[in-house]
Every structure is written in C-alpha cells, then in structure tokens.
C-alpha cells in the first residue's frame, strides 16, 4: 500500500478511462494504462508570465507547501541539473503513509523541466513539465510515465490517481497564482 500511495503523491510534481476538465484554471487530467505503466497527462492555465511560471515549478523547496509534500530538499546543483530528495505523506482511511524519492531535474529555462526518479518507492517515474506562453496566461503541461511498485489492482490505482492528482494540480495552480502577487526578482 505504501508504494501505491507513493505512486499517487509523486505525480504531484511534480487517462484512457476518461479525460476530465475543470473550469477553474482549465484543469485537465487524463490517465491511461500502457502495460504495467500509467501515462499521466495534465494541464492547467494560470494568469502569470512564463518567467513566473518557470520560477514556480523550479522552487523545489517551496514544494513542501503543497498538499501531501512533507519535505523537499535540494541535494545538489550542477549546471542545469538539480537533484532533489522528497518525502510525501497521504492519509487513506486515517492511516498515514510516508514515501520518499530522489529525483533529478533538468531545467530548460522558461520552457521545460524534465525529471526522472533516481531512487524511490516506484519502479519507474519519468516525465516533464512544459510551459507555453499565451496572451494572458501560461499553460502548464505535465506528462509522466509511472510504474508503481505494487500489487494493488489497476482499477484501484486509477481511481486514486484521478482523485489525488486533480487535488494536487489544482493546489499547484492556486499556489502559482498566489506567487504572482510577488513577482520573482529574476522576472522583473
């Protein structure tokens, strides 16, 4: 069960059944199954600049203010590569589950953030955040492949993915909008 929860939480950064859209932030989340892996695609729009959006998604330590993230710490930085240790916790039926991972991010300023799990509680986790500047907003697009390290049936996994990810991405969109009120120095 710990691996199942880790699978759901790690997708926060960080869908063949259905594609759902929400009017708030034009949030869309889709999950499809491809063998033992799940393909997760999500997007949302926030009325901020692309620079502000990039600063937001690369605020690795600030991620601990998002639901489910207990700790997020930069371990090393070399050029455009950043290693991050992250601890996540979720409660299911009042039972707390804590998961850990080490991720490597590759930053492509104001365009993308590529990531891959180096170690952790899932068998495989790799994906990207891509940013697209529109007239009055920036579109965040998240794509990832995740292979859980769990024997839990895929129907149960898909149910939790859809519910937990929707909440995670909505929280991220709200947090990105709040950051807008104090633009980063690098974007002025």
Question: How far apart, in Å, are the Cα atoms of 5 and each of 121, 122, 136?
Answer: 9, 10, 36
**Domain of 108, in residue numbers:** 2-187
Q: Are 146 and 40 in contact (CB under 8 A)?
A: yes
The DSSP 8-state label assigned to residue 96 in this structure reads: E
Give the chain's domain count. 1
**What CATH number does residue 122 fall under?**
3.30.530.20
Q: How far is CA 144 from CA 32, 50, 124, in A?
A: 11, 21, 10
Q: What is the pLDDT of residues 146-186, one digit of tens each?
A: 888 776 666 766 766 667 788 888 889 898 888 766 666 77
111-127 pLDDT, tens digit each: 999 999 999 988 899 99
Task: Give the three-class secondary structure for 92.
Answer: strand
CA distance 162 to 62: 24
pTM: 0.82
């Amino acid at each position: 069960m710990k691996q199942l929860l880790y699978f759901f939480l790690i997708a926060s950064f960080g869908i063949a059944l259905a594609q759902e859209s929400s009017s708030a932030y034009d949030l869309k989340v889709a999950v499809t199954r491809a063998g033992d892996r799940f393909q997760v695609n999500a997007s949302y729009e926030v009325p901020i600049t692309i620079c502000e959006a990039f600063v937001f998604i690369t605020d690795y330590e600030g991620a601990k203010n998002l639901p489910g993230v207990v700790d997020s710490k930069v371990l090393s930085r070399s050029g455009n590569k950043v290693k991050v240790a992250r601890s996540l916790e979720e409660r299911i039926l009042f039972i707390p589950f804590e998961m850990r991972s080490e991720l490597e991010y590759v930053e492509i300023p104001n365009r993308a953030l590529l990531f891959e799990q180096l170690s952790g509680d899932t068998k495989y986790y790799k994906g990207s955040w891509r940013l697209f500047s529109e007239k009055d907003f920036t579109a965040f697009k998240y794509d990832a492949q995740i292979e859980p390290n769990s024997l839990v049936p895929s129907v149960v996994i898909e149910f939790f993915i859809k519910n937990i990810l929707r909440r995670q991405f909505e929280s991220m969109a709200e947090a990105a909008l709040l950051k807008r009120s104090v633009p980063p120095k690098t974007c002025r």
